[in-house]
Structure 1
Amino acid sequence: MAAPTDDRPWSADPYSRALRTGQGPLFLRRPDGWLLPLEVERWCADADAADLGVLRRCEGAVLDVGCGPGRLVAALAGRGRRVLGIDVSEAAVTRTVRLGGPALRRSVFDPLPGEGRWGTALLVDGNIGIGGDPAALLDRMAQLLAPGGLLIAETVPDLDLDERVQVHVTDAHGATGTAFPWARLGTPALLRHAERAGWRAVDQWTAGGRSFAALRSRRHRSTSSTAEPPKSTAVISSQRARKPSADRPVAEA
């Protein structure tokens, strides 16, 4: 599976600056001028009640895909759970490690520790949009999880949305990054993609105005993974692809 190769949208200002300061506003901007707000302050705060509801459902070793500044990784590590965050943003990985959470600067489409052995994988804060191709991402998640492993994905609340867009990161001052593909899914659309990709839905819930779905893959691996097992050590290495986004768009004023 080919991975996106341009990491600039998530590895340079204004995104990196927002993570370093813990403050927005920050947006994904579509070509038609709509702005998708990124919840930088929430990402940089402690895990909230909705996040804790996700973490309580986690099983076994946890892989947080697009971990951002690391609130979920840090919360799990603080509870003694085996966890690893991955992100293509150096600022995100640095902040996660500073919080005490293990993290790698790496794309989900790169080789990863413990492939085929993770108990749970997380795609929260809009990360079902990574790469702009939900089917490809779901296929990759099935490769990473152990047979019967759990995938928890956050979806756009209250909408049957299935959108592919080109976006770029922008801040309130108009600083922008390079355009890249993104996807936005409501829960019904996610479940349709999941069914076609060999997943079954095991739970759906809402909390704090956010929507989530839990899936298990029906597929069985034909070959055993030779990748190293999940580690609890933080390593910063080479990067590639994309990173998280957020909620529903607001019209540009």
Structure 2
Amino acid sequence: MTMLSPRPAVDQPTTFGSGGSEPYAAALQNESATLYLRHSVGELPASATMDAGRWSADADATDLSLLAGAAGPVLDIGCGPGRMIRAAMSTGLAALGVDVSPTAVRIATEAGLAVLNRSVFSDMPLEGGWGTALLLDGNIGIGGDAGALLARCAELLADDGVLLVEVSPHPERDHAFEGTLEDTQGRRSDVFPWAEIGIVPLRARASAAGLRVAQDWRRDGRWFARLVRA
């Protein structure tokens, strides 16, 4: 198991959907199911349209297929209200979620799920001991630097651990930007760093983080990759 030195205190940037009129928190409380991820500069078209209702629903068949053969314990990074934690537990796996949204964490914990309200870049339980880590629903974009996020995940995984990543449906996509989240009522969050990455640049970023893409596949319009230690 990898032993890490204490992390220095750093100023935390604004995170996904936070600040402003809090559209992400509102969506999780069923006020608006559709969210638009936009570039912060100008009135450019949405980079992605998100169905927040899916995050709060039960895991679907595609979600469940990701856990087939998975080893525990499972860490869901950017877990939201916890659908993948519930799914992992339903298969008998120990699971923990981490999310920066107090609203998401409150919803998950009130449902009896184990979720921590913190950044994945903060100190975590079981450093170097996670059997499976999840970066789904665009969460490879957390922090706006996919390479740094993959390196952090490599620190968290056990030697034989697996990282499951959902990538952009556009294989060459490699875009880091300052974004905002907006709902159908025009409520916007503060600006936050985000990234979108496809399978091609993911391979290079993984290699730099000491990981490799062992498998990638598409299902139900989504594209996934299974990463292991190089």
2:64 is the counterpart of 1:52: yes
Moved more, 176-185 or 21-30: 21-30
- Residue 130 (structure 2) aligns with: 118
**Counterpart AA for 1:28:** L
Instruction: Give the whole-Å Cα distance in 2 for the aligned partners of 1:120 and 1:85.
Output: 12
Compute the displacement of 1:8 (Å).
7.7
Amino acid at match of 1:163: H
1:3 Cα offset (Å) = 6.6
1:228 corresponds to = none
Whether 2:24 is the aligned partner of 1:15: answer yes
Change (3 A) 1:104 1:194: same
Structure 1 residue 177: deviation in Å?
Answer: 1.1
Alpha-carbon offset, residue 78 of structure 1: 2.7
TM-score (norm 1): 0.81
For residues 79-110 of structure 1, the C-alpha deviation after alignment (integer angstroms, 9 at most, x for no partner) is 33110000001111122223332111111011
Give 3-state SS (helix, strand or coil) of 1:9's partner: coil
- Match for 2:28: what amino acid? L
Change beyond 3 A, Cα 1:116–1:168: same
Q: 2:45 is aligned with what amino acid?
A: W
- Structure 2, unmatched stretches of 5+, are 1-6
Structure-2 separation of matches of 1:19 and 1:39: 10
User: Which residue pairs with 1:206 in the alignment?
Assistant: 218
Q: Of the candidates 6, 16, 33, which is equivalent to residue 14 of structure 2?
A: 6
Matching residue of 2:84:
72
Equivalent pair of 1:47/1:71 in contact (CA under 8 Å):
yes
Count of matched residue positions in the alignment of Structure 1 and Structure 2: 218
- 1:34 maps to amino acid: P
Deviation at 1:157, TM superposition (A): 1.2
What corresponds to 2:3 in structure 1? none
State the Cα RMSD in Å: 1.8
Identity, % of aligned positions? 42
Letter in structure 2 aligned against 1:84: L
Q: Quote the Cα distance in structure 2 between the aligned partners of 1:72 and 1:168.
A: 25
Residues 1-253 of structure 1 aligned to structure 2 (within 5 Å): 4-7=12-15, 9-10=17-18, 13-21=22-30, 23-30=32-39, 31-32=41-42, 33-35=44-46, 36-218=48-230
Give deviations 1:118-152, integer Å, cap 9, x for gaps. Answer: 11100000000000001111111011111121000
Q: Distance in 1 between matches of 2:32 and 2:203?
A: 33
Distance 2:211 2:162 in 1: 10
C-alpha distance in structure 2 between counterparts of 1:105 and 1:84, whole Å: 11
Instruction: Name the amino acid aligned to 2:107.
Output: R
Question: 1 CA distance for matches of 2:11 and 2:195?
Answer: 15
- Displacement over 4 Å in runs of 4+: none
Shift of 1:19: 0.2
Contact 1:3 1:110 in 2 (8 A): no
Residue 22 of structure 1 and its aligned partner are, at CA, apart by: 6.9
Provide the C-alpha distance between the structure 2 equivalents of 1:22 and 1:122, rounded to a whole number of angstroms: 27
Highest RCO, 1 vs 2 (Cα 8 Å, sep ≥ 6): 1
Cα distance in 2, alignment partners of residues 8 and 66 from structure 1: 10
Higher mean C-alpha deviation, range 11-20 or range 115-124:
11-20
Inter-CA distance 8–142: structure 2 relative to 1 (3 Å threshold): closer
TM-score by length of 2: 0.88
CA distance change for structure 1 residues 145 and 22 in 2, over 3 Å: closer, same or farther?
farther
SS class of match (2:68):
helix
CA distance in 1, matches of 2:159, 2:49: 35
8 Å contact kept, 2:32–2:183:
no
Shift of residue 27, structure 1, vs aligned partner: 1.3
